Each structure stands twice: as C-alpha cells, then as structure tokens.
Chain A
Amino acid sequence: MTNINGKAYAMNAITPMKPWKTPILRLLLLVLGAIKPLQNDLKNLSFIHFARWVVVARNQFPRLSDKQPREELRYDYLLFFSNFNGTWNQYIDAFSAVLSRGLNLIWRWSEKYPGSRPVTGFKRYIALVQFDTDYYYNVYPRAATNDVKAALRVQDALDQFASTSQSLSPADFEKAWLEFVVRVQVDLGSTGVAPVGT
C-alpha cells in the first residue's frame, strides 16, 4: 500500500472552492496558525507528524512553457497533506469526534462539504476527495510521533543524568538512578511495526 510507510499514512485531499471564498479561508488559516488553538489540539491528539493546507488558486497551477495548455478553471483548490499515525478510520473518527469545529472552519468553504459530524457523511466525502500517494518515504518507519516525542524526552533525561552519574558514590548513584528511571518510565515503549490498515 503506497499510502503507508511503517507507522505513517500519507493522506492527500483536494477540494474545490468558489474563488470568492478563498480569501476568507486564507485569513482563517493565518489566524489559526497565529493564535494556535488548532495547533494545540493537534499536538494533544498526538498522532500527526506533519500536516499542511495549501491553497492553489485557479490561475496558480505552475505553467512552465507556452506549449503547456493554460488551465481554465472555475474553482480554486484546497490541497491537504497529512502524515499521520493510525488507520484511516481511526484518524477520521478522531478528527470528527474532537476537532469538529476546527475542521469545519477550514473545509466549509469547499464545495459540497457535509460537515464533520455525522461522521459517516464526512468519511464518504473524504474518500471522494482523497487521492493516493505514489511514493512515500519515512525516516523512522517504526516510530509514531508519540514514540519520537518520548525518545527525545528520554535522550534529554539521559544527557542530564549521564553528566553526573559516573562521579557519584554507589549509594548516591543508587538513589539518583531510581529517580532517573522514574523520570523516564512513561517513555520507554518499544517501537516496531504498525497494526494493519483498516
């Protein structure tokens, strides 16, 4: 399945927008990016490595030669690219359940968007506007974003502890070691293969 590499799923979606709505969306995305409520929710959901929304206006499709026909489009297009962990269904269920308003703010300007609740219609729409990845590279296929964040915390804790550990007396080391293990104990999950896509 080329949409998946290890624990990451590459979703691509394209939706048409009436051009008069595009500036509203651009403004909203700017605001959402600056004020960060959406960013916080995305971080707390903790299953997206990277995601982006890209607006391509109807006259913005790159034209590199006179021989290339000029696009004659009525609509502007909103492109969405996500690198997420979990299955397709799990991802959309989660978005519909907890990010409903944010999603609606972004996609309501797209034609025929049904809203993110009820989830069944939302899934049908996404399946319609999704297009599949031809090649997907993942530098850490065995790690979800949770694993990455946990590993970075462990590394930081280790760097701190390591600098003093060897100079302690065994008795002091014993105490410090226990404190160190308690500090990293929630971040020691193994990495590995993802469950199959559903």
Chain B
Amino acid sequence: MSEIDVSDIQGFSLKGYNFPRARYLLLELLESGPARDFVMRLLPDITTGERWEIDKKPMSTVNLAFTHRGLARLQLPVPSLLSFPVEFQQGMKARGDILYDTGKNGPEHWDEVWKDDRVHAWLAVNARTVEALEERCAAIERLMTETGGARLLQAQNACAINLDGQPSTKEHFGYTDGFGNPDFKGAERECVPGQGKLTADGRWEALATGEFLLGYADEAGELPVGPIPHLLGRNGTFMVYRKLHQNVGVFRNYLDEKGKLYGGGKEKLAAKFVGRWRDGTPIELSPDEPNADIVADKNRNTNFTYGGDPAGVRCPIGAHVRRVHPRDAFGFNGGLTNRRRIMRRGLPYGEYVPEGQPVRDEDERGIIFMALNASIFRQFEFVQQQWIEYGNDSHQGNDKEPLVGNHTGTGKFMVQGSTDPKNPPFICGGMPSFVELRGGDYFFIPSLTALAMIATGTVDPR
C-alpha cells in the first residue's frame, strides 16, 4: 500500500477538478533567472492534491508543467536533463512515426505554436466561472510581466459543453465522456468497480501507484523510470497534451449515411463505435437501449467485463472502450493490460453545434486531450500505437479504432452482430478521419518540492 503525500503532488495529477472552464497558457520561458523567479512566485498558488472541504472549493486552480526544452531553459543540470525518459527528451513531434501523427495529423497541419518545439511550459487554470478564470489569468500575466520570466505563446481555451443551461460532460460528437479513469492505490477517491484492475476472483482493485506517479512501486514491482535526483521526479508524473480537432460535420454525415443501412439504426451504430451509448450507458450492460439508471450509478456505469461477449456481439471487439481498456479480454489475469492504463483529463474547445444544425468543420472545435502516466512510452504511446492505430492485440489485424484512428479513407470498422435483425453484422468502410491532431507535446508535472528545487536552482544530480 502506498501512502502518498497529497500536499506535495499537484492537484491536476491526482484528480479531475470537474470545473467547467479552463485555459491552458502555453509559455515560452525567457532567461533562466527570471524564469525561475516566475516559478518561485507562482509556487504558493499552485493547487495541490489536498482534499477540499465542502464550501471551501477554490474558484480557480493553477497547475504547471514543463517540456524537456523548458527544463533545459530553466538550467537544470545536464546530468538531470539526460536522465529523463528518452521519449520525454525527444518530445511528441519527434515521436510522430510511433504515434501515426502523419498525413493529416502531421506537424505541417498543427497550430503554429506547436510546430517548432517552442513551448516550454503549460500553465493550466481551471475555473468555476468565466470571471474567476479571467481574474486568475490576469494575475498570472501580471506576474509574467513583473518577473520577465515568461512570454505567452498561446492561450488555449476549453469549456464544458452546456446542455439545458448546465455544464455537461459531453464532447462534440455527442458522447458523454469521463468514465473509467483508472483507480490507483493512495488516491483519495473511492475505488469504483471497472476502473482498476481485475483480480483472479473477479473483483476490481486499485492499480499500483507507480503507474501514475513517479517514486512509487508500479505494477511490475519497480520504480518507474524517473530523473535524478530522486527528489526531482518523486510525486511528479508525465502528461501527454494533444489538441484533437473534431470533424463534426464529417462524423454526422457518416453516421447518418451508415445508420440508414445498419439494422440497429443510427444511435445504436454510434454506440457500437465507442462501446457506450451516447448517454454513457455501456452497451455490454445494456445492448438494446440507453439506460439512465446505469449511467447515474457509479457502481454500475463502468462495471463490466467482456468475458461473456468474446465475439463482440454486444460491444464490438474494435470499439473504442474495448480497445483502450481491454479489462479481461486478453486473459492472463490482466498481465498484458495493467501496465497500459492512462489517466485522462480534458475539456472540449470551440462552439458546440447541436444535432440538426449546420456545422463547418473548418471551425475550431474539438477536445483538449491530456493523458497522465508514469511512463509515456509504456502507457500512452503503446495504447496509441498498438491499440488505437493498429488492431493485432484485439485480433482485428490492421483495422484502426473507429473514432480517433488516423484513417485515410480506406479503412474499415467491423461491427460484430448476431442473427437478430436489430443487431446484424455490419462493416463500416471507407472510414474518414473524424479526429485530426492539431498539436501537442510531452510535459513533466513536477511535485511541489521539485518545483521549489527548480525555482531555486538547487537540483543536484550527484
């Protein structure tokens, strides 16, 4: 059992704040002296993982992370810089071949800010209201000016989609998001069935802390690769930031077109893509229709396995949730999957257009996707390369994940079915890319201790 020191860990690493508004400030750090000064001055405002008492929730939160280039700009000693994991040192752009960030997802199509490895820091403000967001960001910008430590390259806004006047957890394709984030030991929230790992007797158990935080034992009984000195890495984690543009128009047209041919109808086909109905009901639990009761019950809404559905008749073998969290589908007591989990954070960006209204795919619209893990290589990169962009582990050959795969217009998605005319086998062919990458990078989210060391220039690699 790992005792974790929540006051030393940045809140963003430990929990989703569930605030409806966010702004990600992408910064260039200037001279190392002023930059360190900037970090030092920010330190008291950095939100930690400490529990918030009821009525004492802050109006906004602040968190800070760096790319490898950013750490170099802060003049961490060279031996420390060289001790970070290789993929973090290279940065996401250099890893494009692994991630299939090619063709329409290639850097030539990214936002300017991401094209040339200029981003040094990610400063995230999450807020409960627009006013709180603006107030906090203004304070930060004042600090940047006062210290001369950083310059704003781009401010990426993100905002929960409002439905019926309330912030929802929907994303632009209409799916309800936010289920199934992994449970790990020491995290404060309750262990919810379906989120951790499966034990031999069918119970769900929290994963090892070291899958998500440096300095703790991971599922293989080792410490994850981290920088030296130990204190620099401890209580920190790595984040993958990806701006995913969504072609809502293309998606809706495709769904309409195929939905007419598919015996179960359009909504069911949409559910087959993901493995959940658009309201969030898992189709393994409710194959014929959405079920609001299941969605509302956290002990049910992600509590299922695939053992009873080996042929993918309820949830297709290539569906999104089945690919990224195979649960018991690969056998071997989870040995092939427990070290491939990622913690997801994110918010949509861009204006939401309700169904039925015309939508232009040239508009800025999509999701800011962030994955947290102790090893970018072993976790995110693996899932992206082997389970999203390829299908061998799920016995689907080269077929890609339908929703976010980098399709080139020729791929297919097989919906397995039965002799029931409302659940027929069906091939979705000629898949276009519904999602396109517009940039991102790999970041290190240091602990509070590490931030202080960085800010005071006291990182000593021995």
Q: A interface vs B, CB < 8 Å?
A: 7, 44-47, 85-87, 89-90, 93-94, 96-98, 117-120, 144, 146-147, 150, 175, 178-179, 181-182, 185-196, 198
Contacts and interface: CB of A to CB of B under 8 A. Distances in A.
A182 B377 contact: no
A117 B377 contact: no
Contact of B399 (A47, A178, A182, A189): A189
B397 A192 contact: yes
A84 B96 CA distance: 24
Contacts of B221: 117-118
* B-side interface size class: 35 or more
A191 B417 contact: no
Given A98-B335, A198-B98, 19 more contacts: A85-B392, A89-B377, A90-B386, A94-B335, A97-B335, A118-B222, A119-B220, A144-B397, A175-B419, A178-B424, A178-B425, A179-B419, A182-B416, A182-B419, A186-B312, A186-B395, A189-B396, A190-B412, A192-B397
B311 A185 contact: yes
A175 B424 CA distance: 12
Nearest to B224: A120
Most buried by A among B311, B317, B392, B399: B392
Contacts of A144: 392, 397
B83 interface: no
B304 interface: no
10 contacts: A117-B221, A120-B222, A144-B392, A150-B395, A186-B311, A189-B397, A190-B397, A196-B385, A198-B98, A198-B377
Contacts of A193: 398
Given A97-B220, A182-B419, A195-B385, A188 B414 contact: yes
Interface of B: 97-98, 100, 220-222, 311-312, 317, 331-333, 335-336, 338-339, 377-378, 381-382, 385-386, 389-392, 395-399, 411-412, 414, 416-419, 424-425, 427
Which 3 pairs, one residue from A and one from B, show the smallest C-beta to C-beta distance?
Answer: A189-B397, A192-B398, A97-B335
A118 B312 CA distance: 35
B252 to A, nearest CB: 26
Interface of B is mostly: loop
B160 to A, nearest CB: 34
A7 B390 CA distance: 12
A74 B220 CA distance: 35
Contacts of B396: 189
B392 A86 contact: yes
Contacts of A44: 331-332
